[in-house]
Amino acid sequence: MTKRKQIVAGNWKMNMDYEQGRDLTKAVIDGLQPSDALVILGTPFIHLRNVASIIKDISNLKLAAQNCHQEESGAYTGEVSASMLKSCGVEYVILGHSERREYFGEKDELIAKKIDAVLGQGMEPIYCCGEKLDVRESGKQNELVAEQVKTALFHLSAEDLQKVVIAYEPVWAIGTGKTASPAQAQEMHAHIRSLIRDQYGPEIADSITILYGGSVKPGNAKELFANPDVDGGLIGGASLKAADFNAIVDSF
């Protein structure tokens, strides 16, 4: 099997003022232990240039933006293009996050265009997919995630698909009091990989990194990452505390 990239990506969401972001970045660096895992900091736009300058000499620490616009430029007040992100030192862009879908009405047809924009600038998308509680309870999670993945990704060439990181978010297990088990995480990750295998073949499928984005913490990371199809995590709340985030990185 092709050795896949192991990744722990932090998503700060809409948190941290400028000084707090600088301090958190430095604390993460201070606590990082030698690791084969790639560590990504996904920050609000205001932090991008500063964080890029702080981490520039650390080979396994990369910078992600949390969104971008699908167009190159134009009259889109308040938006940021992929080329703008590239100019700030960004290498990854989180796209299709469940909160973007829920609060901003983003659909996979739009997300596909954003993915194309990011790839066109030589950056790598972190594409998020996953089902809400009503879908999980109806037993239709596999069908929904299949539709998401096919709509957002299957227009890509095999070469471009290999530049995409996929993050599975069990939306039903985030902030609901319900918990996704490691077995449930593995089941969906295997399903996503099987979709890619059917479309692109086993070599491509085995090369794609698939992250788990369901409330990963220091206490459950090791068990989750031990699954054969779970290649790391997209970390929300725990990424705002350097000690917790670094402990998750150390779980590999």
Q: Which residues are catalytic?
A: 97, 169
Spatial distance between the Cα atoms of 141 and 251, rounded to a whole number of angstroms = 28
- Burial letters for 188-205: b for 16+ Cβ neighbours within 10 Å, e otherwise? bbbbbbebbbebbeeebb
Cβ atoms of 37 and 8 within 8 Å: the answer is yes
Best CA proximity match to 11, nearest among 47, 37, 43: 43
The 3 state secondary structure assigned to 210-240 is EEECCCCCCCCHHHHHCCCCCCEEEECHHHH
The DSSP bridge pattern shows strands 210-212 and 165-168 to be parallel
Spatial distance between the Cα atoms of 105 and 66, rounded to a whole number of angstroms = 16
- Sign (positive/negative) of CA torsion 249, 214, 14, 120? positive
DSSP label at residue 81: B
Q: Tell me the two tokens of residue 201.
A: 């073949």
- Rg of the chain on CA atoms, in Å: 17
